[in-house]
Structure 1
Amino acid sequence: MENKMYKVQTLNKISPQGLELFSREDYEVASEITHPDAIVLRSFSMHDMKLPKSLLAIARAGAGTNNIPIEKCSEKGIVVFNTPGANANAVKELVLAGMLLASRDIVEGIAWVHGLKKEGDKVPALVEKGKSQFAGQELKGKKLGVIGLGAIGVIVANDALALGMDVIGYDPFLSIDSAWELSHNVQKATGLETLLSDVDYLTIHVPLMESTKEMIDSEKFAMMKDGVKIMNFARGGLINNDALKNAIASGKVSAYVTDFPNGDLLDIKQVIPIPHLGASTGEAEDNCAVMACTQVKHFLETGNIENSVNFPNCVQPRIAGAKRVVIANKNMPSMISEITSLLAKHNINIANMLNKSKGNLAYNIIDIEDGNLPESMIEKLLAIKGVVMARIID
């Protein structure tokens, strides 16, 4: 039967508030562990890393999982978690700061004032004389377009309303939870083209995938109003840099604020590069670590899955005294019947069962009524074609 002493490897510095959730009695936590049950990380790249046979779960303390080989993990039945929404407030605040920086020419103004340091007593008069060159505009009454209404996009939209902006959002995959959180005063765009042609400010909050790579290109820039200000605190690859440079040169884009600096853009005055500070607050790091470690703990101890990027959410309450078997398999016909038939063949009675699928993968939580579940059953389950992971939880 599974050993209750779980091993958790950390590949980055993880907030103690998260790691303290792993009790010393049941967990060994260290960066040097070679055969971990779970890995918790932030930005460490795992693509060249050999995945240990013991590995059951990986938790990214953050939303993006580009640093994790998702496909390879799925093939091995390794559940990959992220922490959507845990750093949302930190990113939202920086987006709002970015909008203010883009509007008031604050960065250039501060640099100019620093250049007056040798003027001594003349500084106040020089400031009054020269300040007009940094005149900007207010956010109130301007229209903000929000592409992507997930955890971050929703609170950016809501807070922009509170600043007196008109807000229009676009997200063809808007979740029920996000819809509940989104203010009814946020206008819903009928299409991306409608949004782009109508806004003074644009902020992007979608993941970087093949379908979203360089989604803002020459064609999309051509749809925008002249002088639009763009915030990109999602991923640099969402925007085509060559098209962006042309749009800035033509006056189509008057400011581009990004949390993902690129050497190709650093010499452009209208670009305000921020050194990837979106989630870099103590509060956000604590929140992400707590969420990541909680999800790993629940998965190892109960088999329940919440916020996985490759497996479905699958949560079933425990039955007192029952043993539990969890099984990951390829989403193929007849898998459930093969699994339940095998259990029935060995006189194992199912008290409760939950099966869910996500794309090409499925996950099963099965509670055994009388606790009669020998360890040898794992080998039999793994012998079923399509089963990629099986384990017993006391």
Structure 2
Amino acid sequence: MSTITLERVKTIKTLNHIAQSGLNVFHKDHYVIDNESEDPDAIIVRSFNMHTMEFGANLKAIARAGAGVNNIPVDVCTERGIVVFNTPGANANAVKELVLTTLIASSRNLFDGVSWVKTLEGEGEQIPKLVEAGKKQFVGKEIKGKTLGVIGLGAIGALIANDALGLDMDVIGFDPFISVDTAWNLSRNVQRAMTIEQLFAESDFITVHVPLTDDTREMFNETAFSMMKPGVHILNFSRGELINEEDMAAALNSGKVGKYITDFPNEKVLKMNNAISIPHLGASTTESEENCAIMAARQLKEFLETGNIKHSVNFPNAFLPYTGKQRLAAFHHNVPNMVGQITSAISDDHLNIADMVNRSRGDYAYTLIDIDSEVNKKLVPGLEEKIKQIAGIITVRVI
């Protein structure tokens, strides 16, 4: 039986099936997985809709085992000082493989051909002759030498761009917000589009890998289609809302868009000519689910044990090497003299600051402070309460 005191045991709740390899990150002597808990320390979720959930006072963090966080009330969490993590890149290979698979399959009319062959059931010995006679209607095109436009060169887009080069495609990419890490991993043979209009005009195939924002919503519309090559294939494994569906249906009917491949089917998409609907399989591999679960669990564990943050969608990333000293973690509004007020409260208690880091993100900021002297247990609640009284402080945690 564990000898760890209950004060040190933290509760993790899951709202979907989470791969056991992820849950194994939480050592049983320090954590308990309790899916009935009404007030856990942290939650791991995949697709469960959390918008109507009541959050307990003890909840410190939510980790989405995946990239999108549309199912999480991020604004509410931010106001409450609850960190929301996602797992960018953990499912990148799974999505990349499906994009390249459907790119080739759609160019070769594979989906239509397979569906047609199934209609020959019952024709018996005539099937081989019927196949030879009918296959000409499914003559496709090779992707070698064609141009692939990649919009969004994050973890997924960069993998697709690099591998498409290996398939002897020409690749052009557009991403005004490309990170330094991604740039290092991107082949120098990927051409840079200076504008998205340039990418539209030059691409035979276009694949999009951007988040859904006010700027990207319905970015594929009549105006965008008018700039593209006739018969362009568009692959959407990011968000259905990136497409204006009425304009897409019209472009497919006219032949301006040759094929639309999407991982987000709905009634309108199913009625479109030359639209190929995938049942949201982008990240649906055993390996991807395990990778996402492990990454989400490690992020939660790191935050709960050290206060360090990486891959949060609402808090700034912040890292301070953890040496075992008493640590204060404060989430607060990004206003002048906030750090000065926090450090003054610490010095007023005759405590030395060993190290600290302060990071901001828009209207909010996060401060980690290591205290040099050992804070006794009687002093911790007093110091914590004193800092909580500072105007603009949202949450304070002593680690």
- TM-score, normalising length from structure 1? 0.98
CA positional deviation for 1:123: 1.1
SS in 1 for 2:94: helix
Residue 361 of structure 2 corresponds to residue 361 of structure 1: no
Find the partner of 1:377 among 377, 383, 387.
Answer: 383
Residue 279 of structure 2 corresponds to residue 263 of structure 1: no
Residue 293 of structure 2 corresponds to residue 289 of structure 1: yes
Q: Which residue of 1 aligns with 2:219?
A: 215
Find the partner of 1:176 among 176, 180, 195.
Answer: 180
Q: Distance in 2 between matches of 1:237 and 1:47?
A: 19
SS in 1 for 2:107: helix
Residue 40 of structure 2 corresponds to residue 36 of structure 1: yes
Overall identity of the aligned pairs, in %:
52
Amino acid paired to 2:307: G
CA positional deviation for 1:374: 1.7
For residues 97-112 of structure 1, the aligned pairs below 5 Å read 97-112=101-116
Q: Distance in 2 between matches of 1:276 and 1:374?
A: 49
CA positional deviation for 1:113: 1.0
CA positional deviation for 1:380: 1.1
Cα deviation code 1:330-364 (max 9, x no counterpart): 11111011111111111111011111111111111
Between 1 and 2, higher relative CO (CA 8 Å, sep ≥ 6) is seen in: 1
Q: Distance in 1 between matches of 2:350 and 2:235?
A: 60
Amino acid paired to 1:353: M
Structure 2: gaps spanning 5 or more residues: none
Q: Which residue of 2 aligns with 1:49?
A: 53
Cα deviation code 1:236-284 (max 9, x no counterpart): 0001001101111111101000000021121223000000000000000
Q: Distance in 1 between matches of 2:34 and 2:58?
A: 15
Q: Which residue of 2 aligns with 1:337?
A: 340
SS in 2 for 1:327: strand
Q: Which residue of 2 aligns with 1:163?
A: 167
SS in 2 for 1:391: strand
CA contact (8 A) 2:40 2:59 kept: yes
Q: Distance in 1 between matches of 2:237 and 2:220?
A: 14
Residue 20 of structure 2 corresponds to residue 16 of structure 1: yes
Moved over 2 A (4+): none
SS in 2 for 1:92: helix
Q: Distance in 2 between matches of 1:237 and 1:101?
A: 24
CA contact (8 A) 1:350 1:369 kept: yes
CA contact (8 A) 2:231 2:255 kept: yes
Q: Distance in 2 between matches of 1:42 and 1:117?
A: 40
CA positional deviation for 1:217: 1.2
Find the partner of 2:145 among 141, 159, 180.
Answer: 141
Q: Which residue of 2 aligns with 1:391?
A: 397
SS in 1 for 2:283: coil
Q: Distance in 2 between matches of 1:211 and 1:148?
A: 13
Amino acid paired to 1:333: P
Structure 1: gaps spanning 5 or more residues: none
CA contact (8 A) 1:86 1:288 kept: yes
Cα deviation code 1:199-249 (max 9, x no counterpart): 100000000112211111111111111000000000000010011011111
Residue 356 of structure 2 corresponds to residue 350 of structure 1: no
CA contact (8 A) 1:2 1:392 kept: no
CA contact (8 A) 2:39 2:55 kept: no
Amino acid paired to 2:261: V
Amino acid paired to 2:344: S
Q: Which moved more, 1:121-130 or 1:222-231?
A: 121-130
Amino acid paired to 2:18: I
CA contact (8 A) 2:345 2:383 kept: no
CA positional deviation for 1:2: 9.5
For residues 234-273 of structure 1, the aligned pairs below 5 Å read 234-273=238-277
Q: Distance in 2 between matches of 1:106 and 1:216?
A: 25
CA contact (8 A) 1:169 1:188 kept: yes
**RMSD of aligned Cα (Å):** 1.2
Q: Distance in 2 between matches of 1:107 and 1:312?
A: 44
CA positional deviation for 1:30: 2.1
SS in 1 for 2:122: helix
Cα deviation code 1:299-348 (max 9, x no counterpart): 0011110110111111111224x211111111111101111111111111
Q: Which residue of 1 aligns with 2:119?
A: 115
Find the partner of 1:326 among 302, 324, 329.
Answer: 329
Amino acid paired to 2:353: I
Instruction: Give the direction of change, closer, same or farther, for the CA distance of 1:339–1:390 in structure 2 (3 Å limit).
Output: same
Residue 281 of structure 2 corresponds to residue 277 of structure 1: yes
Amino acid paired to 1:109: G
CA contact (8 A) 1:80 1:309 kept: yes
SS in 1 for 2:331: strand
CA contact (8 A) 1:169 1:195 kept: yes
Count residues in correspondence: 392
Residue 317 of structure 2 corresponds to residue 316 of structure 1: no
CA contact (8 A) 2:249 2:273 kept: no
CA contact (8 A) 1:35 1:55 kept: yes
Residue 299 of structure 2 corresponds to residue 299 of structure 1: no
Q: Distance in 1 between matches of 2:323 and 2:290?
A: 32
Amino acid paired to 1:93: E
Amino acid paired to 2:79: E
